[in-house]
Amino acid sequence: MKDYLPRSDLLAGRVILVTGASSGLGRSASLVYARHGATVALLARDADRLEMVYDEIVASGGAEPAMFPYDLAAADDRSLETLAGTIAHHLKRLDGVLHSAHHFYNLTPLELQTLEQWQTLMRVNLITPFALTRACLPLLKQAPDASVIFTGETHGHHPSAYWGGYAVAKSGLEALTRIWADELTSNEALRVNTLIPGQVATTLRTRTHPGLSPETLTHIDALMPWYLYLMGEDSRSVRGQIIECQP
């Protein structure tokens, strides 16, 4: 995929919602989607950092984004439906959703993880991505070519010790992807996939692998061809797939 060369106008005219847009993979994807013509709806908990991404997009000549400061940990059906309605009212359409927001505590044995921690991990990493996609489904179904991308995790795909509730939530996204793809087989204009970034130089990877030098990790920008490919029309036939960027 490193050889994928998208057209500069690959996402022209499209509206893409990105969660976790204030940092990491979400921020990078928001910038690259804007550079390829999309109007990006930026969603994250931290309004100040969200404004910085907004300013970067505008300064680089991208279409003016929309900003949605929103705490996914406090989401409910009504607020998510209001969010989808706001997108419909102001942006008139929705052609894609990238679920990049996540919540992580630390690496600990299962016996030390609490019910409260698991509830938050499930809500932010699995339940709200489902609920937000469901709320946006009417808009997505109206698009001529729409894509939903869930962000998986290596340790959800290959579970291992100490990743606990985070890994369980991320593995749930894989099941959710396959179920939704199966239910949407008759809708050729809407596809759902999960993308697993792998070992990337992000704040999360620094926390989980503090001994790794950032220079040994893949830079976020190197993965952007995957994010463009799955969001654009070139991947229309890719459905229900769990894709490891760095298998």
pLDDT in tens, 20-29: 999 999 999 9
Does pTM top 0.85 for this prediction? yes
pLDDT bucket at 246, cuts 50 / 70 / 90? confident
Residue 214 has pLDDT above 70, yes or no: no
List, in sequence order, the alpha helices (H) in 92-217.
Answer: 115-122, 128-142, 154-157, 164-183, 203-208
User: Which amino acids are annotated catalytic?
Assistant: 166
Q: Decide yes or no: CATH 3.40.50.720 for domain 15-244.
A: yes
Please report the pLDDT score of residue 187 as a whole number: 83
User: Cα 169 to chain center, whole Å?
Assistant: 14
Map tokens 């229900």 to a residue.
Answer: 240
Identify the weakest region by mean pLDDT among 3-7, 64-68, 100-104, 133-137.
3-7
Of the chain, the percentage scoring pLDDT greater than 70 comes to 92
Residue 202 has pLDDT above 80, yes or no: no
Residue 24, number of CB atoms within 10 A of its CB = 21
> Could you report the per-residue pLDDT of 78-115, keeping only the tens digit for each?
999 999 999 999 999 999 999 999 999 999 999 999 99
The domain spans of the chain are 15-244
Please report the pLDDT score of residue 16 as a whole number: 98
Give kind and range of the element (H or E) at residue 36: none
Please report the pLDDT score of residue 201 as a whole number: 58
- pLDDT, mean of residues 205-230: 75
Residue 165 has pLDDT above 60, yes or no: yes
Please report the pLDDT score of residue 206 as a whole number: 54
